Amino acid sequence: MRHAELVRALEAVEGPARPRADLEQVVTPPEVAAELLFAAERWDGLGGRSVLDLGAGTGRLAIGAALLGATPVVAVELDPELAERGRAAAARAGLEVEFVVGDVRAWDRAAEVVLMNPPFGAQRRGADRPFWDRALALASRSVHAFALADSRTFIAGRVVARGAQILETQPVAWRLPRTFPHHRRRAVMLPVDRWAVRTEDDP
């Protein structure tokens, strides 16, 4: 699948109708989501791989992975409204993605590849930490995820503690349009990294 084609398909997966600030419901911009998905494809070849999307929202990453041939794809999201929106988007695209309403902190079903755009911890410091702990524990092969540049030291420490290996830490151009009532400006650029982490010794 070409980049432009994937971006178009991801644009069709709408974000939340009324995003909740307390859960940091920020939808991944299509271009940025495509960048993560193609990185996962380059490192791991998603075809036939099991994928887990933690904090899946309306499922841009999960649905994108299914489009690139990943199977089975499981998407875990706390907010039932978003999970339902994701389910509908996957059905419209004719893709099989299992959306589960649940708390990532209690999730224990593993997968080869974990993808995530978790809460960044901008509202509640450290909100991304349990996500990284779960992702690193549950991925048998790799983790591909976004994080604020602030979290670099924390993430690198967790990766080392897990005996995993950082493949890439790549700054991305993340434009956040006004999303929550406390946002004053029309849009801001966020200092976000895309991470690729190898959790398996000999893939």
Chain residues in the site for ligand SAH (CB under 6 A): 23-28, 55-57, 60-61, 76-79, 82, 103-105, 117-119
Q: Please report how close the Cβ of residue 202 comes to ligand SAH at its closest, in angstroms.
A: 30
Q: Is the dihedral of CA 159, 152, 60, 81 positive or negative?
A: positive
Closest CA to 75 of 60, 93, 88, 92: 60
Q: At closest approach, how far in Å is the CB of 103 from ligand SAH?
A: 4
Cα separation, 76 vs 101, whole angstroms = 6
Cα–Cα dist 72/50, whole Å: 5
From the CB of 65, what's the least distance to ligand SAH, in Å?
11
Nearer to ligand SAH, 28 or 151 (CB): 28
- Smallest separation, CB 19 to ligand SAH (Å): 8
Q: Hey, CA dihedral for 33, 38, 41, 47, is it positive or negative?
A: positive
Q: Which two tokens stand for residue 142?
A: 């790799």
Between 116 and 164, CB nearer to ligand SAH:
116
Q: How far apart are CA 27 and CA 43, in angstroms?
A: 24
CB nearer to ligand SAH: give 49 or 85: 85
Q: Which residue is nearest to ligand SAH (CB)?
A: 57
Q: Please, which residue, 163 or 181, has the CB nearer to ligand SAH?
A: 181
Which CB sits closer to ligand SAH, 105 or 200? 105
Which is it for the CA torsion 170, 6, 30, 151, positive or negative?
negative
Angle at 104 between CA 126 and CA 192, to 5 degrees: 45
Rounded to the nearest whole angstrom, what is the least distance from the CB of residue 60 to ligand SAH in the complex? Answer: 4
Helix (H, G, I), strand (E, B) or coil at 44: helix
Nearest-approach distance from CB 170 to ligand SAH, in angstroms: 17
* 57 versus 142: smaller Cβ distance to ligand SAH: 57
